[in-house]
């Protein structure tokens, strides 16, 4: 996630949206609802009648597996190890896996080699695609750390990086287990270079490349793209993201109505935060898109973005929502 938002943020609730294609990232200060994503929240209410297989503890284990590798910054051998791990696990689950190489074209990542990991589970009866994404790189600096001496330190990225990846990997296990029930083809994309460095010119390398390289044939098959970023905070608070809501309101509204059906306490069906993230290149390509992000995470881009801040229950809330979107909607 972006770092320059906080600066804007301090000047409060000023949203600039120029034309229909320029997006600025604004984090609006405001009172945070107290919400306890307590145990069993994802199984409460109407969810009792809906059997979902997503396991939050499995996802949390994969957060810790990533953290054990160390910071997964683009170009680093630890990130290469994670990419290999993603690829081998996804292939073992029966996904077709493509490593999509790309070269950064501008900004500080110009000339840098990045690699998206793209996993597909086709459905024989229906070629239409539902795409879910997350970024698997972590930012090499900690610009928001309260301790100035730590701001050049690569972060662990438990929430900003590992959480979205972990949700997608547990979702992959569920999709493989429930393969015979699939009614649509599923694609999972792990983006590189989302957090290459601070500043929008130095971010989103993988998603920008992917969105620009979608063929007309594939585009015609895509139903939607949903991004998960920072979805593991144990104090989970996910609101409707303003860019997603403005451009493709039906998708965001469907997500939050589904969250309500499932009794997910960390989801709030009201708009808050205007975010520039990996979903924006998809929105600009005309693909219905949304981002799920908890942008009230106090450890964002600090060295304190560590495993103790992330919970299995929060990961399960996002994961069960994705499973529900795939199999019930």
Any residues with CB less than 8 A from the CB of 280 and at least 6 apart, and which?
23, 204, 207, 243
Residues 120, 299: Cα–Cα separation, whole Å: 33
Alpha helices in the chain (DSSP H): 5-10, 56-69, 77-92, 164-177, 205-212, 216-221, 242-247, 249-261, 280-284, 312-327
Task: Please state the closest distance from residue 74 (CB atom) to Zn ion, in A.
Answer: 12
Quick one: which H or E segment has residue 118?
Answer: strand 113-121
Pick the closer one to Zn ion by CB: 72 or 130: 72
- Which residue from 137, 160, 278, 313 is in contact with Zn ion, where contact means CB under 5 A? 160
Pick the closer one to Zn ion by CB: 278 or 313: 278
Pick the closer one to Zn ion by CB: 195 or 241: 195
- How many Å separate Cα 241 from the centre of its chain? 13
**Residues 1-20 within binding reach of Zn ion (CB under 5 A):** 1
Closest CA to 231 of 298, 123, 108, 316: 316
Q: Quickly tell me which residue has 């287990």 as its tokens.
A: 177
Task: Please state the closest distance from residue 315 (CB atom) to Zn ion, in A.
Answer: 17
Phi then psi dihedrals of residue 305, to 5 deg: -80, 75
Measured CA to CA in angstroms, residue 160 lies from 41, 82, 110, 196 at distances of 23, 15, 23, 13
- Answer yes or no whether residue 192 interacts with Zn ion by CB under 5 A: no
Task: Please state the closest distance from residue 159 (CB atom) to Zn ion, in A.
Answer: 9
Task: Count residues near Zn ion (CB under 5 A).
Answer: 4
Task: Please state the closest distance from residue 122 (CB atom) to Zn ion, in A.
Answer: 32
The token duo for 326 is: 């795939």
DSSP code, position 109: G
- Which residue from 192, 195, 277, 313 is in contact with Zn ion, where contact means CB under 5 A? 195
**Residues 129-158 within binding reach of Zn ion (CB under 5 A):** 139
Pick the closer one to Zn ion by CB: 151 or 179: 151
- Answer yes or no whether residue 313 interacts with Zn ion by CB under 5 A: no
Check: CB of residue 256 under 8 Å from CB of residue 267. yes
- Answer yes or no whether residue 233 interacts with Zn ion by CB under 5 A: no
Question: Of 44-52, 72-80, 160-168, 284-292, which part binds Zn ion (CB under 5 A)?
Answer: 160-168
- Answer yes or no whether residue 310 interacts with Zn ion by CB under 5 A: no
Task: Please state the closest distance from residue 143 (CB atom) to Zn ion, in A.
Answer: 10
Maximal CA-CA distance, the chain: 56
Task: Please state the closest distance from residue 54 (CB atom) to Zn ion, in A.
Answer: 24
Do β-strands 222-229 and 289-293 pair in parallel, antiparallel, or remain unpaired? parallel
Pick the closer one to Zn ion by CB: 195 or 278: 195
Question: Of 95-103, 165-173, 187-195, 257-265, which part binds Zn ion (CB under 5 A)?
Answer: 187-195
Residues 317, 55: Cα–Cα separation, whole Å: 10
Do β-strands 185-191 and 129-135 pair in parallel, antiparallel, or remain unpaired? parallel
Task: Please state the closest distance from residue 63 (CB atom) to Zn ion, in A.
Answer: 15
Position of minimal CB gap to Zn ion:
1
Pick the closer one to Zn ion by CB: 117 or 139: 139
Do β-strands 185-191 and 238-240 pair in parallel, antiparallel, or remain unpaired? unpaired
Task: Please state the closest distance from residue 301 (CB atom) to Zn ion, in A.
Answer: 6
Pick the closer one to Zn ion by CB: 1 or 167: 1
Task: Please state the closest distance from residue 286 (CB atom) to Zn ion, in A.
Answer: 26
- Answer yes or no whether residue 323 interacts with Zn ion by CB under 5 A: no
Check: CB of residue 223 under 8 Å from CB of residue 126. no
For Zn ion, the binding residues (CB under 5 A) are 1, 139, 160, 195
């Amino acid at each position: 996630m972006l770092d320059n938002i906080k600066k804007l943020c301090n000047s409060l609730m000023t949203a600039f949206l120029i034309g229909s294609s320029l997006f600025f990232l604004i984090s609006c200060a405001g009172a945070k609802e107290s919400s306890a994503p307590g145990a069993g929240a994802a199984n409460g209410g109407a969810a009792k009648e809906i059997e979902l297989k997503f396991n939050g503890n499995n996802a949390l284990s994969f957060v810790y597996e990533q953290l054990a590798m160390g910071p997964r910054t683009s170009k680093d051998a630890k990130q290469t190890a994670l990419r290999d791990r993603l690829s081998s696990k996804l292939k073992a689950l029966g996904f077709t896996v493509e490593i999509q190489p790309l070269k950064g074209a501008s900004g500080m990542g110009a000339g840098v080699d990045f690699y998206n990991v793209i996993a597909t589970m086709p459905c024989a009866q229906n070629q239409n695609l539902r795409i879910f994404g997350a970024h698997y790189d972590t930012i090499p600096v900690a610009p928001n750390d309260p301790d100035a001496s730590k701001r050049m330190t690569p972060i662990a990225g438990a929430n900003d990086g590992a959480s979205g990846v972990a949700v997608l990997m547990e979702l992959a296990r569920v999709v493989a287990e429930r393969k015979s029930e699939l009614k649509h083809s599923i694609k999972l994309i792990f983006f590189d270079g989302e957090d290459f460095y601070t500043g929008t010119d130095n971010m989103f390398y993988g998603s920008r490349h992917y969105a620009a390289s979608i063929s007309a044939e594939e585009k015609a098959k895509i139903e939607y793209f949903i991004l998960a970023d920072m979805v593991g905070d144990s104090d989970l608070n996910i609101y409707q993201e303003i860019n997603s809501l403005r451009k493709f309101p039906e998708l965001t509204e469907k997500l939050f109505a589904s969250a309500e059906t499932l009794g997910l306490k960390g989801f709030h069906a009201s708009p808050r935060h205007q975010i520039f993230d990996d979903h924006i290149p998809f929105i600009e390509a005309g693909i219905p898109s949304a981002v799920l992000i908890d942008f009230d995470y106090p450890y964002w881009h600090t060295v304190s973005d560590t495993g103790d801040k992330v919970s299995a229950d929060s990961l399960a809330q996002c994961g069960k929502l994705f499973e529900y979107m795939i199999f019930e909607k």
